Amino acid sequence: MNLPNTLTVSRIIMAPVFFIVLWIPEWFSIGRVSLSIVALVIFLLIEVTDLADGYIARKYNLVTDLGKVMDPFSDVFSRLTYFISFLSLGIMHPVFTLIILYREFSIVFIRMILAQRGIALAAKSGGKLKSVFYFLASVAALGYLGLVRFNGDSNFLQYARVVVDILFGVSAFLALVSFVDYLLVFIKKMKETSR
């Protein structure tokens, strides 16, 4: 297994570790602030490896069929872990969570159908922008959770919560927009291959 694929696998391993670290304070009432910081660090490691594996694979011509399948899977795997955690902790609105989950599973389904026809669905600019907002919303959510656990100023927390809600709302909107974009590509590819 080459370096990019190893980094991809590391994300799959780190996602449940992130979940456990994030939830230990809820389960055992210990390490409320310190474990929130550790969860943020793990989250950042997951996101950095996501950038690194693709960059290394392209730069050093290490792109593999396994990597093409495993990379989007590990993205979905880690994001589901984040968003279900945020939903369960009351940080993310259920509507936003559902929109994002529907989008992610639908894209996986579209990728599977195209893969059976030997077609790889490349990331599009709308999908990349959506990923940026997923990242920003998740960082804001983790920051907000850390402040709550630290018993921060309630007035500041109200404003912080509004920011978190806005970022998740924008993320859900961009998830829908990028899904429509991918869906149009999917329909076009299906028409091309059915001729």
- Interval 146-191: pLDDT, tens: 999 988 778 889 999 999 999 999 999 999 999 999 999 899 888 8
| pLDDT tens digits for range 91-128 | 999 999 999 999 999 998 998 888 888 887 777 777 88
pLDDT at 53: 92
How many whole angstroms from its chain centre is CA 147? Answer: 22
Token pair 């974009």 is found at: 181
Q: What is the pLDDT of residue 195?
A: 67
Taking 80 as the threshold, does the pLDDT of residue 194 lie above it? Answer: no
DSSP H stretches of helix in 60-153: 65-88, 94-116, 125-149
């297994």: which residue's tokens? 1
Predicted confidence (pLDDT) at residue 13 exceeds the cutoff of 90: yes
As a whole number of Å, the CA-based R_g of the chain is 18
pLDDT in tens, 39-62: 999 999 999 999 999 899 989 999
Side-chain-facing half-sphere of 67: CA atoms under 13 Å: 21
The domains found in the chain, sorted by start residue, are 3-193 (1.20.120)
Res 118: pLDDT:
80
Residues with Cβ within 8 Å of 26's Cβ and at least 6 positions away in sequence, in order, are 89
The reported pLDDT for the residue numbered 64 is 87
User: 102 is written with which tokens?
Assistant: 């529907």
Residue 151 has what DSSP assignment? T
Alpha-carbon dihedral of residues 140, 95, 12, 115, nearest 10 degrees?
-130
